[in-house]
Amino acid sequence: MTRGMNQYVFAAYSNGLGAIVLIPACFIFYCCGLWIIDFFWWVLYSLSMQIFMYIGMAYSSPTLASAMFDLTPAFTFFVAVASRMEKLVLKDPGSGAKSVGTLLSVAGALVVTLYKGQPISSVFSSSSSLTGLNSHLLLQSNWIIGAIFLVATAFILSLILVVVTWIIKDYPEEMIVVLISSFFVTIQCAIFTLFVKKNPNAWSLKLDIELVAIVYSAVIAVCIRSILYAWACRKEGPIYVSMFKPIDMVIATIMGVAFLGDTLYLGSVIGGIVITMGFYVVTWGQAQESKMIENSGNCATFDSSSPKAPLLQNTKIDVMV
C-alpha cells in the first residue's frame, strides 16, 4: 500500500486469493477420506456428461435431449442393481414393475431415435417438399448421431447419481461436495477448452444473453440443482431422484416449440408417451417396494414386542396369588 495500491483493492485481492487457497485446503483436510471413485465422478461429470450433452444437442434438439434423459431412471436402476445398491427380485411385484418400466423406457427411446415421423408443429409451414426431401437424409443422420451422444449422457448421469449417493452418505456435506466438484470441473473444462478452442477470443464475455445464460447456469444448475440432487440422493437414493427426469421432456418440448422454433415430430410424441408410461410403471414399483419395506418393519416390531405380553400377565397373576 506504500507504493500506491488502494487499500480496498488490496483487501479484495487478498480475500479472493485466500478463498482460492482454502478450496484445496478443504479438499485435503476435510475430504481426504473420500474414495478414488469420487475423482472418477468429477472426471465423468466434466469431460463426459457435459461435453456429450452439448454435442448431442448440437446435432438434434432440446426435445430429443429431454426424451433421451428420460432413460435416466432406467439406467439408474440398472446401475443401482449392478452395484448392489438395489435388489432385483423378479417374483416381487415392485421389482417386476421396475423391470417392465425400464424396458418400456428403452423402447420409447428407440422409437424417438429411429422413427422421426411426420412433423406436427410445422403443418402450416411454407417450405417446399423438394427442400424437405433433399435435407431428409442429412437431418436423419444428424438426429441419430445426436441421439447416441444423448443416450451416453443419460447413462453417465445415472452413474453420477449412484456415485453421488455413495459420496454424500460417507460425507454428508452437500455444499462442500458441490464446491469441490465445481472447482475441479472448472479446471478440467478449462484445460479441455484450451486444447479444443485455441482462439483466445472465445473466452471474451459480452453484456448480452450469453452472460445471462452463464449466470443462470451457475446459480440454478451448478449451485441450486447440484445441492438439491446431493441432498435428495442422501435422503431417498438415486432412483428417486432420477424418476423426476421425464418432467424435463414436457417442459423442453413446450419451450423448444414456443421460443426456439423447433419442429415437433410424431416419433418424439409417441416415444415420449411410451417413455412416460415406463416412468410411471417404475414409480409404481418403487412405491410398492416402499410399502413392503414399511410393512415388514411393522411386522418385525410387532413380533419383537409380542413375547413381552405373557411375561407381564404372568407376573400380574403371581402377585394376585
The per-residue b/e assignment along 18-57, b for 16 or more CB within 10 angstroms, e otherwise, is: eeeeeeeeebeeebeebeeebeebbebbbbbbbbbbebbb
Overall pTM > 0.95: no
Say what the pLDDT of residue 127 is. Answer: 43
For 12, how many CA atoms within 13 A lie in the half-sphere containing its CB? 5
Cell of 316: 400380574
Could you give the CA distance from residue 282 to residue 81 in angstroms, rounded to a whole number? Answer: 14
The string of DSSP codes covering 69-113 is HTTHHHHHHHHHHHTTSS---TTSHHHHHHHHHHHHHHHHHHHHH
Tell the residue number behind the cell numbers 437431418, with chain if given: 139
Nearest Cα to Cα of residue 276 among 255, 237, 249: 249
Say what the pLDDT of residue 11 is. Answer: 67
Say what the pLDDT of residue 131 is. Answer: 43
Say what the pLDDT of residue 318 is. Answer: 43
Say what the pLDDT of residue 247 is. Answer: 67
* Cα-based angle 127, 128, 134 (whole degrees, multiple of 5): 110
Nearest Cα to Cα of residue 89 among 291, 285, 275: 285
For 270, how many CA atoms within 13 A lie in the half-sphere containing its CB? 15
- Written as tens digits, the pLDDT of the chain (321 aa) is 455 555 656 666 676 676 677 666 666 665 555 555 565 665 666 677 878 888 888 887 776 777 777 778 778 888 888 887 777 776 777 778 877 887 887 788 778 767 777 877 654 444 444 344 444 444 566 778 888 888 888 888 888 888 888 888 877 778 877 887 777 777 777 887 788 777 777 777 777 777 788 888 888 878 888 888 889 888 878 877 877 776 676 677 777 777 777 777 788 788 878 878 887 887 788 778 777 777 766 665 545 555 544 544 444 444 444
Q: Quote the distance between the C-alpha of residue 219 and its chain's center.
A: 17
Q: Which helix (H) or strand (E) holds 158?
A: helix 129-170
- The phi and psi torsions of 265 (rounded to 5 degrees) equal -105, 155
Give the per-residue SS3 of 215-226: HHHHHHHHHHHH
